[in-house]
Amino acid sequence: MTAALDTSVASASLPMTKALNAGLRRAMLDDPRVLLMGEDIGPLGGVFRVTEGLIAEFGDKRVLDTPLAESGIIGTAIGLAMRGFRPVCEIQFDGFVFPGFDQITSQLARMRNRHEGGLIMPVVIRIPYGGHIGSIEHHQESPEAYFAHTPGLRVVSPSNPHDAYWMMQEAIASDDPVIFFEPKSRYWPKGEVRFDESGTPLHASRVVRAGTDVTVVGHGAMVSVLLQAAELATAEGISLEVIDLRSISPIDYRPILGSVQKTGHLVVTQEAPGFVSVGSEIAATVAERSFYTLEAPVLRVSGFDTPFPPAAVETHFLPSPDRVLEAVDRALAY
Amino acid sequence: MSATRNDATASRTAAASTPFGLDGADTCVRMISPTGVFEPNAAAEEFLPYLDRITEADHRRFYRDMVVVRKFDTEAANLQRQGQLALWVPSHGQEAAQVGSAYATRPQDHVFPSYREHVVGMIRGLDVVDILRMLRGVTLGGWVPEEHGNFHLYTLVLASQTLHSTGYAMGMQLDGSTATGNPETDQAVIVYYGDGASSQGDANEALVFAASYQTPQVFFLQNNHWAISVPVARQSRTPLYLRAGGFGMPGTQIDGNDVLASFAVTAKSMDDARAGHGPSLIEALTYRVGAHTTADDPTKYRDPEELAYWVARDPIVRFRSYLKGLGVEQHFLDDVDDEAADFAADSRRRALEITGPEQSVIFDNVYAEPHPLVAEQKAWLERYEASFDEGKN
Provide the mean pLDDT of chain B.
93
| Confidence (pLDDT) at B196 | 97
Cβ pair A72:B140 closer than 8 A:
no
B79 and B169 assigned to the same domain: yes
**What is the CATH number for B163?**
3.40.50.970
Asked whether residue B297 carries a pLDDT value surpassing 60, the answer given is yes
- Measured in degrees and rounded to the nearest 5, phi and psi for residue A45 equal 85, 20
> Looking at CA atoms only, how far is residue A266 from chain B in angstroms?
21
Query: Would the CA dihedral through B298, B301, B304, B310 be positive or negative?
Result: negative
B189 and B254 assigned to the same domain: yes
Is B358 an 8 Å CB contact of chain A?
no
| Confidence (pLDDT) at B295 | 87
| DSSP letter assigned to residue A107 | I
- Ranges of each domain in chain A: 14-194, 206-333
Is A134 an 8 Å CB contact of chain B?
no
Nearest to A175 among B152, B157, B369 (CB): B369
The answer to whether the CB of B64 falls within 8 A of the CB of B339 is yes
Asked whether residue B14 carries a pLDDT value surpassing 80, the answer given is no
User: Would strands B251-255 and B230-231 be described as parallel, antiparallel, or unpaired?
Assistant: unpaired
Question: Which 255-284 residues of chain A touch chain B by CB within 8 A?
Answer: none
Cβ pair B366:A152 closer than 8 A:
yes
Mean local confidence (pLDDT), A300-314: 98
Q: What ipTM was estimated for this complex? A: 0.96
Using alpha carbons, list the distances in angstroms from residue B81 to B75, B77, B170, B341, B348: 10, 6, 42, 19, 13
B318 and B375 assigned to the same domain: no
Mean local confidence (pLDDT), A278-289: 98
Tell me the chain B residues in contact with residue A107 when contact means C-beta distances shorter than 8 Å: 155, 157, 160, 164
B323 and B384 assigned to the same domain: no
B260 and B367 assigned to the same domain: no
| Confidence (pLDDT) at A7 | 83
A34 has which bridge partners? Answer: A86
Give exposure, B174-185, as e/b (b: 16+ Cβ within 10 Å). bbebbbeeeeee
**CATH superfamily label, A14-194:** Thiamin diphosphate (ThDP)-binding fold, Pyr/PP domains (3.40.50.970)
Predicted confidence (pLDDT) per residue in A188-226, tens digit: 999 999 999 988 999 999 999 999 999 999 999 999 999
- Residue B68 within a domain: yes
| Confidence (pLDDT) at B328 | 96
Number of domains present in the structure of chain B: 2
Searching chain B, which residue's CA lies closest to the CA of residue A173?
Answer: B369
| Confidence (pLDDT) at B24 | 54
Measured CA to CA, the distance from residue A119 to residue A117 in angstroms comes to 6
B166 and B188 assigned to the same domain: yes
B143 and B291 assigned to the same domain: yes
> Looking at CA atoms only, how far is residue B202 from chain A in angstroms?
7
Searching chain A, which residue's CA lies closest to the CA of residue B168?
Answer: A79
Cβ pair B175:A84 closer than 8 A:
yes
B66: nearest Cα among B258, B194, B227: B258
Single pTM value for the model: 0.95
Question: Does an H or E element contain B264, and which?
Answer: helix B259-274
Asked whether residue A31 carries a pLDDT value surpassing 80, the answer given is yes
- State whether CATH 3.40.50.1100 applies to domain A206-333: no
Cβ pair A79:B170 closer than 8 A:
yes
Provide the mean pLDDT of chain A.
97
Measured CA to CA, the distance from residue A206 to residue B43 in angstroms comes to 69
- Residue B367 within a domain: yes
B201 and B328 assigned to the same domain: yes
The answer to whether the CB of A93 falls within 8 A of the CB of A128 is yes
B112: nearest Cα among B50, B203, B196: B203
B277 burial (CB, 10 Å; 0-12 / 13-18 / 19+) is: middle
- Residue B1 within a domain: no
| Confidence (pLDDT) at B23 | 52
- Residue B310 within a domain: yes
Asked whether residue A83 carries a pLDDT value surpassing 90, the answer given is yes
| Confidence (pLDDT) at A4 | 75
| Confidence (pLDDT) at B8 | 39
Question: Which 185-244 residues of chain B touch chain A by CB within 8 A?
Answer: 201-202, 205-206, 208-209, 212
| DSSP letter assigned to residue A104 | I
User: Would strands A190-194 and A240-244 be described as parallel, antiparallel, or unpaired?
Assistant: unpaired
Nearest to A103 among B160, B171, B208 (CB): B160
| Confidence (pLDDT) at B390 | 75
From B10-24, B168-182, B252-266, the region with the lowest mean pLDDT: B10-24
Predicted confidence (pLDDT) per residue in B155-206, tens digit: 999 999 999 999 999 999 999 999 999 999 999 999 999 999 999 999 999 9
| Confidence (pLDDT) at A6 | 84
Phi-psi region of B9 (alpha: psi -120 to 50; beta: other; left: phi over 0): alpha
Searching chain B, which residue's CA lies closest to the CA of residue A32?
Answer: B175
Tell me the chain A residues in contact with residue B108 when contact means C-beta distances shorter than 8 Å: none
- Catalytic positions of A: 139
B41 and B129 assigned to the same domain: yes
Question: Which 128-147 residues of chain B touch chain A by CB within 8 A?
Answer: 139-141, 144-146
| Confidence (pLDDT) at A168 | 98
| Confidence (pLDDT) at B13 | 39
Predicted confidence (pLDDT) per residue in A174-186, tens digit: 999 999 999 999 9
- Residue B2 within a domain: no
User: Would strands B226-227 and B230-231 be described as parallel, antiparallel, or unpaired?
Assistant: antiparallel
Asked whether residue A3 carries a pLDDT value surpassing 50, the answer given is yes
- What percentage of chain A has pLDDT greater than the value 70? 99
- What percentage of chain B has pLDDT greater than the value 90? 90
A36 has which bridge partners? Answer: A63, A88
B236 and B374 assigned to the same domain: no
- Give the pLDDT band of residue B27 (cuts 50, 70, 90): confident
The residue with greater pLDDT, A264 or B356, is A264
- Residue B76 within a domain: yes
| Confidence (pLDDT) at B3 | 40
Is B369 an 8 Å CB contact of chain A?
yes
| Confidence (pLDDT) at B17 | 41
Mean local confidence (pLDDT), A222-250: 98
Searching chain A, which residue's CA lies closest to the CA of residue B208?
Answer: A67
Say whether A206-333 and A14-194 share the same fold: yes
Cβ pair A82:B139 closer than 8 A:
no
Mean local confidence (pLDDT), A108-127: 98
Nearest to A72 among B157, B205, B367 (CB): B205
| Confidence (pLDDT) at B15 | 42
Structural domain boundaries, residue B369: 359-392
Cβ pair B367:A112 closer than 8 A:
yes
- Residue B177 within a domain: yes
Is A254 an 8 Å CB contact of chain B?
no
From B18-32, B192-206, B240-254, the region with the lowest mean pLDDT: B18-32
- Give the pLDDT band of residue A2 (cuts 50, 70, 90): low
B262: nearest Cα among B333, B319, B306: B319
Cβ pair B168:A83 closer than 8 A:
yes
Mean local confidence (pLDDT), A20-27: 98
> Looking at CA atoms only, how far is residue A102 from chain B in angstroms?
9
